[in-house]
Chains A and B, each alone.
Chain A
Amino acid sequence: MDAPLWVSGVVYGLSMGSIFFLLAAGLSFCFGLMRIISLDQLLYYSLGAYVAYQVNVATGLTWPAMLCGALAAGALSWVVERWVFDRIYAREITFTMITSFGILVAGVGAIKYVWGLVPRPMGIPVEAQVAVLGVNVPVYRILVIAITGAVYAVIQWLLNWTMVGTAIRAAVEDVDQVEGLGVDVYRLFTGTFVGAGMLSGLAGALHGPLVMVDPQMGLEVVPFVFMVVIIGGLGSLKGTLVSAFLVGQVVSLGSLVYAPLAQMAPFAAMLLILLWKPTGLYGSALLRR
């Protein structure tokens, strides 16, 4: 195995991990704060990619198209939260999972109806390549990693330095107490859900140029995203970041060593980590409500 392959493998893994992080962060927060398993994040992921593709085709712009994708995903998640999740927050967690699965299936059906079954290629914003350790690497992949880093920093700032973020962190621990303090937790829920939806949409839009945009793209990442959430520890942002990059690397480097490992290695890694730390890398003991 030669060195250039490894360098490009690491960059590929990091960009892959970035996409996983953007998706898993939303899922992780939805679980931590609202105790829902929001499978419909994967719909917002697909929708973000498709809207970005459509705006890109219509106007020729790339970065604004991605922003449009994220905003469209946020708008849809707001509608879904108001109409569906608002009614079922109080119910059991498996229940929210099936309901969101219904939303996911319906959304994928709608996407198939609008855009058809054929995968669509999406324009890449930056064609250039840059030399990293003597290996040519697409600039776009590095930009994806940089954007994810920026998003992580913004979320950390929101959580640690603003009142809303403080309320969210407190509500992850004990939502009743926060409500008792006079915080409208349902507005907090809405905000978090829309934020998660926008992150998922951004993930889809950023991932669009790297893969083909197709209706099943949300279902393809399901195992990896759940793995990231579980390895990182539910509700922990830092853990999600670490585990996203870990899973990205395991997929990418594993496939370099032996191709079928790309499918199998992440599961083996998850199994080992969970045997070592049953609550995930950074998770505290599972909070029950």
Chain B
Amino acid sequence: MGLSWPLLVCAETNEDKVKFLGYHDFKLRWTAFVLANTTAALAGSLYGVYFGFVSPEMASAARAADPVVVTILGGTGTLYGPLVGALAYVGMKDLVSGIVGNWEFLVGLLLVVIMLAGERGIWGTLEPWVRRRWTWRRPAPALQE
């Protein structure tokens, strides 16, 4: 069966309609779920190769929060959201910990401020603006009478 981004968006917006169109709703979700977890596994294997060691601590509760934070920070349900969120979160940590030793306090505060500022995350807020600025598709010409 075909799995495409628009189809997944459809499934999120209107489950019944996707079923009605003849797609197997559960299979769709299942595939997306498996795909997402395979990506997570890829992240784990890359981590192992990069740092040269693995331990059960990799799944500790303290780390479990990070992916969720990154996702929400970037903006859920957007393609580039997690990328932007990851860059922002890790960059924030890196930058702040370079300036002050006690980085946790500042990073936490920054996180709260960013969360209060926008409801859709960083990319969710920026996306319309970026699209308007660097769109490669010209807007449809106005209808001529």
List A residues at the B interface (Cβ < 8 Å). 84, 87-88, 91-92, 94-95, 97-99, 101-110, 112-113, 216, 219, 222-223
B61 within 8 Å of A by Cβ? yes
A residues less than 8 Å from B109 (CB atoms): 102, 106
On whether the beta carbons of A84 and B104 are closer than 8 Å, the reply is no
* Residues in chain B near residue A84, CB distance under 8 A: 112, 116
Say how far A82's CB is from chain B's closest CB, in angstroms: 13
**B contacts with A, residue count (CB < 8 A):** 22
* B106 lies within 8 A of A98 (CB): no
Asked if B68 and A94 make an inter-chain contact with CB atoms under 8 angstroms apart, the answer reads yes
Residue among B76, B104, B106, B107 with the most chain A CB within 10 A? B104
Q: CA–CA, A109 to B97, complex, Å?
A: 12
CB-CB < 8 A to A92: which residues of B?
A: 119
Chain A residues near B69: list those with CB within 8 A.
98, 101
Number of A-B contacts (CB under 8 A): 72
Q: Give Cα distance in the complex from A108 to B62, angstroms.
A: 12
A98 and B73 contacting across the interface, CB-CB below 8 Å: yes
In angstroms, Cα B124 to Cα A94, docked, is: 15
Please name all residues of chain A whose beta carbon is closer than 8 Å to the beta carbon of B103 when the two chains form the complex. Answer: 109
Inter-chain contact B115/A109, CB cutoff 8 Å: no
Residue of B nearest to A222 (CB): B61
B115/A95 in contact, CB under 8 A: yes
Q: Is the CB of B102 within 8 A of A106?
A: no
CB of A103 within 8 A of CB of B108, answer yes
Q: How far is the CA of A99 from the CA of B118 in the complex (A)?
A: 11
Q: Which A residue sits closest to B115, measured CB to CB?
A: A99
Chain B positions 94-138 with a Cβ under 8 Å from a chain A Cβ: 102-112, 115-116, 119
CA distance A121 to B121 in the complex (A): 41
Nearest CB on B from A140, distance (A): 27
- Closest CB-CB distance, B36 to chain A, in whole Å? 16
Instruction: Show 21 A/B contacts (Cβ-Cβ < 8 Å), sorted by A.
Output: A88-B116, A95-B115, A95-B119, A97-B68, A97-B72, A98-B111, A98-B115, A99-B112, A101-B65, A102-B110, A102-B112, A102-B115, A103-B112, A104-B108, A105-B104, A105-B105, A106-B109, A108-B104, A108-B108, A109-B106, A219-B61
- A91 B72 Cβ-Cβ under 8 A: no
Residues of B within 8 A of A216 (CB): 62
In the assembled complex, which residues on chain A have CB atoms less than 8 Å from the CB atom of B106?
106, 109
- Known contacts: A95-B72, A219-B61. The answer to whether A88 contacts B115 by CB under 8 A is yes
